[in-house]
Structure 1
């Protein structure tokens, strides 16, 4: 930003009023506003942009400290003080204590108070502002303002910058410095500072559910680990096996913990120390888990308990005690705490893009949800990329619809599927209704291609599949605008939507009931109702239709989310992304 304004702190000094005026207007600074050693310790006069004069020793010291230190023009603290004429902001003790409380309770958001100098903040709050010499007043001002700025940044946008973790990250960037400075002022002017700080966290049901679960599992973690269940062959209802006793003990231990937490919920104990069990936790019907004469029998009571557990863990609710269910049973409360912290961070990254109308593509929940006017307008199952061909997390929008689309085979599928397929079976292209075209669009005879050489060195042509209901894209394509050839589309394999685990595609997102989504996005009942759309599809002709408006599409990855009943649900980490994020989140403080 300094370069854009034509400034070099090493050579020039900028008066605060002129600097702020330039920032607000996005215009170059006037020459008279910049001059070597132009006396930053002098008092500011009223400027043309309405900034009040800053009189007194402290404003001068603050101005000097901020403009002559390593703080840059982009620093929200500098802009905050520029906007208030360098008047002190932390003269009231209740403001200090409000900030200290906000830092102290950061763990409720899965964040770490160790990122902030909590003990130093507490020490500084012991002294009244008026009792400190000017230099100490400045130190305290900068300490508390910098703490508040970083605290708001973490609550609103996360502790980590996702752009440093993911090369393809393109969700909305955090607020610009002037907006951050304005938010600092807004929070400081609030009657209750801690409440104003807490209000900066995402205002989303999922965020609150994750917070409640975090509190719950932290308490469970203090009580030790669950009984472990050994691996082995899949066990089904009515089976008898020594491992069944371990499953019973594991779920009975969770039952006891849930009951203890519920009985010690706030309002039912003197301390209010223990949180209530999450709203989706059900202990009814589990009371007889331990009351059995044959602990190794997979009886109906245990079957229902396992089904409920599978629902909470985002697994196929089939009562089969296979590898996935056993692995989930062996996840400790401490591991769930780490998982919840990771997903709170992910949600902070994208929360601002979940405001207003949007389409949420829940990659791990295998669900697409269209939100219009603050309400869930439509929902459908989806199929996403398999672990070897991951669907990326992206912010995008539907550009247009294509009816009866042709499919240009992406490079990865061409290299890994089509070329090897032709080598194995010369009729592969005919079977899949595919044609080869050159750069000009002219057809190329497949018999004139050395397919074994193409397997080693690549194919210098495009492969296009004809349109049709049996084509890979089905009858409708929802075109997006990303550089990864990722889009939404119909499918020629609707039976896949009946599977519980649907990470099965080559990267694009297959949508159940695409006709319904198309009608909603076209938003033109007179011209494009369900019947008109079906008639256009029945012609078999490829046709491109503009959408009524470009609604944001969020392809979001998270290993915890809400199910269709609004209950918190853990999900398998299908792309194995949690651990790297957990390590980064627990890493060096910023």
Structure 2
């Protein structure tokens, strides 16, 4: 598999928003920020605003209307122009939609620029266009998404799909000109190794990859590429453009200068990236929530490591999946009733594995180990009840403990065989994000699956139509969190 495909799915955003710190001051009160009624316009500035909005397709915002209202020269006209400019500026600086309204839970830190003061300064300097452009993310990943969107977006009817459906299913062993396109998407989705994608022959390696994909999406896993399988594999240029616009919007939601040391988890791609002092230190697979138990998009730090954790089974799992299984099941899984709760004791069968990464949030979401190691071999790893299971979690805990200077304490805690807490000297920020476009080994954007169907609500906020298609099936796997 393309092991580094997801490793670069999060790009370090290092530039602060213009106007955040150096704010113009009110002449009446030198220590006060500028108010909306103190922003003044002229014809040149209005022209710059209109030109900037005219080129909004570079940000995937061309399906939204940003009307420029008002004429300069009067308080009413200046106020209307300021409101028009701030609406577009906010879309660039923080996103056109509010993720906290688009999603039931969204607590990832967002940019907080002082747009009014920034606008006033840009107008005073005669550089409104430059200031507006500076508000969007400035990293190479965003630029590549923008370039791809501009190349893909259509003016009229939806372009034809890249892999045409000829009506007759593709059988194993077939020789067909569509095979290279099918293989490329299987590789991009991590179902197929790049080396196995050769020529026009529907070879055994591709058949096995298609079967795995079919099983993930609830289609009979026979390896025959019919209309259902093509629907999953196939994206028109319009579909791809929509994905690029959604990806840009999600990047605009994020702080431009995130913590240099942090952990980013891409829920959609089931991949973790550990950043240390601004550099990628580690990337590994994770298992996240299944479609009926989605992992929420959180900003929540790790504050301690827990060696040999116990697991208090949540009421929801207790009632839905353990109730009625009897004392033999509890004993077999090292579980017992304690103060009205089912508690699983430390050990190799514990659903949290041998380490838990305790996080601060009210949703009981955290990173942890797991005894279900086989799930890391799946391509679609949305298989948990909402928490994040980390591949080789003990190795990852060792890495964090070493980096944070608590390795000896961690080793002592592990050796006890009992639940033991190891506080970190500083909290490590964690961002649980959802991004269906990642960057491949060549740096180009690659479209992954949308396991929760969350792209639709973001796309709708940007003015795109909904895209119906097959969704990842709930696995009904183990009872772990």
Give the TM-score normalised by the residue count of structure 1: 0.63
Contact 1:202 1:351 in 2 (8 A): no
Counterpart mapping for 1:53-64 below 5 A = none
Q: Distance in 1 between matches of 2:93 and 2:153?
A: 23
The Cα shift of 1:553 comes to 0.8
C-alpha change, 1:549 and 1:225, in structure 2 (3 Å) is same
Compare relative contact order (CA 8 Å, sep 6+) and give the higher one, 1 or 2.
Answer: 2
Q: Which runs of 5+ in 2 are unaligned?
A: 1-23, 186-195, 214-222, 466-481
Contact 1:229 1:330 in 2 (8 A): no
2:273 equivalent in structure 1? 369
* Residue 143 (str. 1) matches residue 80 (str. 2): yes
1:559 equivalent in structure 2? 436
Contact 1:229 1:247 in 2 (8 A): no
C-alpha change, 1:564 and 1:464, in structure 2 (3 Å) is farther
Q: Distance in 2 between matches of 1:574 and 1:173?
A: 24
SS of match in other structure, 1:547: strand
Q: Distance in 2 between matches of 1:231 and 1:431?
A: 52
* Residue 229 (str. 1) matches residue 165 (str. 2): yes
2:260 equivalent in structure 1? 356
C-alpha change, 1:560 and 1:158, in structure 2 (3 Å) is same
C-alpha change, 1:144 and 1:539, in structure 2 (3 Å) is same
Aligned partner (choices 20, 25, 40) of residue 89 of structure 1: 40
The Cα shift of 1:489 comes to 0.2
1:112 equivalent in structure 2? 62
2:303 equivalent in structure 1? 399
Contact 2:63 2:462 in 1 (8 A): no
1:443 equivalent in structure 2? none
Contact 1:362 1:368 in 2 (8 A): yes
The Cα shift of 1:378 comes to 1.6
SS of match in other structure, 2:112: coil
Q: Distance in 2 between matches of 1:199 and 1:473?
A: 44
C-alpha change, 1:51 and 1:404, in structure 2 (3 Å) is closer
Counterpart mapping for 1:275-286 below 5 A = none
2:346 equivalent in structure 1? 467
Contact 1:368 1:380 in 2 (8 A): yes
Contact 2:313 2:342 in 1 (8 A): yes
2:249 equivalent in structure 1? 345
The Cα shift of 1:411 comes to 1.7
Larger Rg: 1
Aligned partner (choices 425, 429, 435) of residue 336 of structure 2: 435
C-alpha change, 1:474 and 1:113, in structure 2 (3 Å) is closer
Contact 1:522 1:546 in 2 (8 A): no
C-alpha change, 1:325 and 1:187, in structure 2 (3 Å) is farther
SS of match in other structure, 1:112: coil
1:270 equivalent in structure 2? none
Contact 2:404 2:425 in 1 (8 A): no
Q: Distance in 2 between matches of 1:474 and 1:161?
A: 37
Counterpart mapping for 1:158-173 below 5 A = 158-172=95-109
2:152 equivalent in structure 1? 217
SS of match in other structure, 1:381: strand
* Residue 418 (str. 1) matches residue 322 (str. 2): yes
Contact 2:265 2:272 in 1 (8 A): yes
The Cα shift of 1:156 comes to 1.1
- Output one character per residue of 1:507-528: Cα deviation in whole Å (capped at 9) or x when no partner: 1100112234324433567651
2:6 equivalent in structure 1? none
Counterpart mapping for 1:168-179 below 5 A = 168-172=105-109, 175=112, 179=114
Q: Distance in 2 between matches of 1:518 and 1:564?
A: 27
- Output one character per residue of 1:107-141: Cα deviation in whole Å (capped at 9) or x when no partner: 111113752225x68xx6xxxx7xxxx54xx3442
Alignment: residue pair count: 423
The Cα shift of 1:250 comes to 6.2
Contact 2:410 2:422 in 1 (8 A): no
The Cα shift of 1:548 comes to 2.5
C-alpha change, 1:223 and 1:234, in structure 2 (3 Å) is closer
Q: Distance in 2 between matches of 1:195 and 1:552?
A: 32
2:359 equivalent in structure 1? 480
Aligned partner (choices 434, 447, 453) of residue 576 of structure 1: 453
Q: Distance in 1 between matches of 2:31 and 2:397?
A: 52
Contact 1:228 1:250 in 2 (8 A): no
Aligned partner (choices 394, 408, 422) of residue 515 of structure 1: 394
More helix by share: 1
The CA RMSD measured in Å over matched residues stands at 4.1
Contact 1:250 1:329 in 2 (8 A): no
Q: Distance in 2 between matches of 1:510 and 1:215?
A: 37
SS of match in other structure, 1:341: helix
1:50 equivalent in structure 2? 30
C-alpha change, 1:570 and 1:466, in structure 2 (3 Å) is same
C-alpha change, 1:499 and 1:105, in structure 2 (3 Å) is same
1:316 equivalent in structure 2? none
Deviates more, 1:336-345 or 1:499-508: 336-345
Aligned partner (choices 299, 307, 312) of residue 408 of structure 1: 312
